[in-house]
Structure 1
Amino acid sequence: MEPLHRRIRSTGMNEASLEFLKKLTDAASPSYHEEDAAAVFHEHCATFADEVRTDLMGNVIAVLNPAAEFRVLLSGHIDEIGLIVSTISEEGQLYFKPIGDWDPAVLVGQRVWIRGQIPGVIARTPVHLLSEDERHKVCELYEMSIDIGVSTRETAEKLVEVGDEAVLHGSLLRLGENTVIARGLDNKSGAYVVAETLRRAKDRLRKDIGLYAVGAVQEEVGYRGAASAGFGIAPQIGIAVDVSHASDYQQAHSGHLARIALGKGPVIARGANVNPVVYRLLRKAAEDADRPFQLEAEGESSYTDAAALQTSGVGVATGLIGVPLRYMHTPCEMLRLDDLEACVDLLVNFCLALDPTIDLTPKRI
């Protein structure tokens, strides 16, 4: 098979950046077990950042110009949804609880990795043995278990213990010219964007602006990493980079969803968690570069790191950028690499155009 970086070279993504994205998505990092993805993020950023550190929450923080008083925080969370072993049956079956928000229908029959080392499969009663009523019901999480190929609790406990985490099995795969699928693109794609923004802004960023790329933890269980990073860094501006639901396929058509499509560029949010001045600056950065972008309205919470950053400390002027994504919270999340690169370009242009004397107080113009 042709190397991955050669097969999608048309996106403008270089070999090292593509390998970084693949390593991020391959790393098993369910919420509060992000160490593997954190190591990937740290290693990559250490090649260009002025400073890289890990805080007590587990956030990886890479910085340009750490002495600058005007600080911009870019957050892309490195955690993903997963499972946690809750009990082990006498037959060696592992029962589990969700880490984050799952559709139970997605899980049946999936292969898993426990602690990134132990393989297993999610089991349920075969269709042949179901009653007529059971055939028409969604299998609930408590009706499933993980089978690791053993027959006794004693044998299972030599390999696994209660509290061990698991993720679905899968690796980055290319579809078409520049479309990829992978587990955990929510939100390894956002982590990729903030790290690459830092790399590409280096040597061009004003020295009186401190730029912080945060690989944030525990977003899927309550934005906890972004909350602590925002408090510790105390930025004037905070931008969360996450994924946005693409609605460009039949099953997602709905009158209340934004008209968001793959291949149409970054999604810039407006609404509850977005400072209007930051929104206008993001939009201007896209328009000045003559690059396409899409809009999304957030009437209440965006349920992203932007919600935590906005209320950190005395308050932060917050923005939110989305990478268009299909099939969120499944093992085959899908995005286009040209959208990913467009998000990086947008953030780089935004950061390079900033003036630390800007008044970020919300105002109508």
Structure 2
Amino acid sequence: MRKESLVFLEKLLAAPSPSGYEQPAQRLFRDYVAPYCQVSSDVLGNVYGFIAGQGKDCPKVMLVGHSDEIGLQVKYIDDKGFLYFAAIGGVDAHLTPGKVVHIHTTDGPLPGVVGKRPIHLMDTKDRETVVKLEAQYIDIGAKDKKEAQKLVRVGDCITFESGFTHLQGDRVASRGFDDKAGSFVVAEVLRLVAAEKKKLPVDLYGVSSVQEEIGLRGGTTSCYTINPDIGICVEVDFATDQPDVERKHNGEVALGKGPILTRGANINHALFELLYATAQKDKIAVQLTANPRATGTDANVMQISRGGVATALVKLPLRYMHTPVEVVSLGDLEQAAKLIVATLKMITDRGTFVPQ
């Protein structure tokens, strides 16, 4: 991967961005794409990059990946200074005990740990029980409630400590690849398109959306604002090349074998075929998955925005989703950006995507 792109990806992943608290990551996205496109933001926090196409009345294409990640939020501070919290998005209660976290306060990040009763003091039955999130707590080392309240406010967001770790080959681990990997691909597409000598036949809007993890909110409002003819969502999907994932349900998906093209009711058939044919022509490896219903991604709300949008979903294989150690192949991210840019060059007539 290009050195500057990798540095941007690492910074993007490190920036705290639980749903509703995305702006540290969004500022990085804005700064990165600003040299390549017109940049704007909206009241919800979505960031838009725009590159005009060649000619008038070009088809409008919206490319979207969401910047928000799962996290926690301070709900209550007890008399001894321990913080009780709630989940932002789908947090697995199995994983939180014993984790180092950062509470993002007005004065900057504050470290803490999710405490847990020692195994020596637990009954056999308790050892086999998952402690509910509302019964877990964070220890910041405060001596009492008064001291804790000087440092933390109810409503402060919390992220898990997680560094960017290089594994074997081009595989890397971090928290937040769901879906900063998608936001990164959107940024890379804007960069690659700007570098082209010839303008695209489409008006391109690259969006880093917000609040996807709590209800596809940014995808809904940004699509309504742009009113695109064509939409491509870039998301992550469950890799099934780990030992404990059922392929019969989730399909056959592996890291390092290229981006995933989804098929199903959420996907415009003609747009899927264009992506697939482009991949074949340019010798870009792709994988296929099937989803007969709504996909639970920004692609779902794009498709049914206003009078309807021709929508496709390009996914990135991901292991260990919604953990602090999500794993991807950097090559899959690069190939996704390459495929999308190549496909954009092939779009000339918005009527192509109206079913006949």
State the TM-score bracket (shorter-chain normalisation): over 0.9
2:214 to 216, 221, 226: 221
Matched, 1:150 2:136: no
Match of 2:48 in 1: 61
Superposed, which structure 2 residues align to 1:26-45 within 5 Å? Answer: 26-45=14-33
Match of 1:100 in 2: 89
Determine the C-alpha separation between the residues in 1 that align with 2:138 and 2:306: 42
Match of 1:81 in 2: 70
Match of 1:336 in 2: 329
Determine the C-alpha separation between the residues in 2 that align with 1:205 and 1:166: 45
Determine the C-alpha separation between the residues in 2 that align with 1:229 and 1:356: 23
Match of 1:25 in 2: 13
2:320 to 298, 321, 327: 327
Question: Secondary structure in 1 aligned to 2:262?
Answer: strand
Determine the C-alpha separation between the residues in 2 that align with 1:133 and 1:207: 63
Once the two structures are TM-superposed, the CA of residue 205 in structure 1 deviates from its matched residue by 5.5
2:128 to 128, 132, 136: 136
Match of 2:113 in 1: 121
Once the two structures are TM-superposed, the CA of residue 254 in structure 1 deviates from its matched residue by 4.0
Determine the C-alpha separation between the residues in 2 that align with 1:169 and 1:44: 24
Q: Deviations over 1:234-284 (max 9, x none)?
A: 000011100010000111134212100001101000012111111111111
TM-score calculated relative to the size of structure 1: 0.93
Match of 1:211 in 2: 204
Match of 1:350 in 2: 343
Determine the C-alpha separation between the residues in 2 that align with 1:182 and 1:217: 19
Determine the C-alpha separation between the residues in 2 that align with 1:38 and 1:141: 28
Determine the C-alpha separation between the residues in 2 that align with 1:142 and 1:340: 36
Contact 1:99 1:221 in 2 (8 A): yes
Range with bigger deviation, 53-62 or 196-205? 196-205
Q: Deviations over 1:137-188 (max 9, x none)?
A: 1121122111111121100000111111001011211001211000000011
Determine the C-alpha separation between the residues in 2 that align with 1:23 and 1:68: 37
Cα gap change, 1:314 to 1:358, in 2 (>3 Å): closer
1:177 to 148, 169, 181: 169
Unpaired runs of at least 5, structure 1: 1-12
Question: Secondary structure in 1 aligned to 2:12?
Answer: helix
Contact 2:182 2:235 in 1 (8 A): yes
Matched, 1:312 2:299: no
Unpaired runs of at least 5, structure 2: none
Question: Secondary structure in 2 aligned to 1:106?
Answer: coil
Determine the C-alpha separation between the residues in 2 that align with 1:222 and 1:81: 12
Paired AA for residue 292 in structure 1: A
Paired AA for residue 4 in structure 2: A
Range with bigger deviation, 330-339 or 251-260? 251-260
Contact 2:17 2:67 in 1 (8 A): yes
Determine the C-alpha separation between the residues in 1 that align with 2:236 and 2:262: 11
Determine the C-alpha separation between the residues in 1 that align with 2:266 and 2:19: 23
Once the two structures are TM-superposed, the CA of residue 208 in structure 1 deviates from its matched residue by 4.6
Determine the C-alpha separation between the residues in 2 that align with 1:357 and 1:127: 62
Match of 2:270 in 1: 277
Contact 1:82 1:168 in 2 (8 A): yes
Range with bigger deviation, 188-197 or 198-207? 198-207
Cα gap change, 1:205 to 1:29, in 2 (>3 Å): farther
Q: Deviations over 1:184-214 (max 9, x none)?
A: 0001100011110111012356455111110
Q: Percent identity between the aligned chains?
A: 39
Paired AA for residue 97 in structure 2: V
TM-score calculated relative to the size of structure 2: 0.96
Determine the C-alpha separation between the residues in 2 that align with 1:88 and 1:78: 29
Match of 1:164 in 2: 156
Question: Secondary structure in 1 aligned to 2:65?
Answer: strand
Contact 2:12 2:29 in 1 (8 A): yes
Paired AA for residue 88 in structure 1: I
Determine the C-alpha separation between the residues in 2 that align with 1:172 and 1:47: 26
Contact 2:262 2:289 in 1 (8 A): yes
- Please tell me the root mean square deviation across aligned C-alpha atoms, in Å: 1.3
Once the two structures are TM-superposed, the CA of residue 359 in structure 1 deviates from its matched residue by 2.0
Determine the C-alpha separation between the residues in 1 that align with 2:322 and 2:57: 38
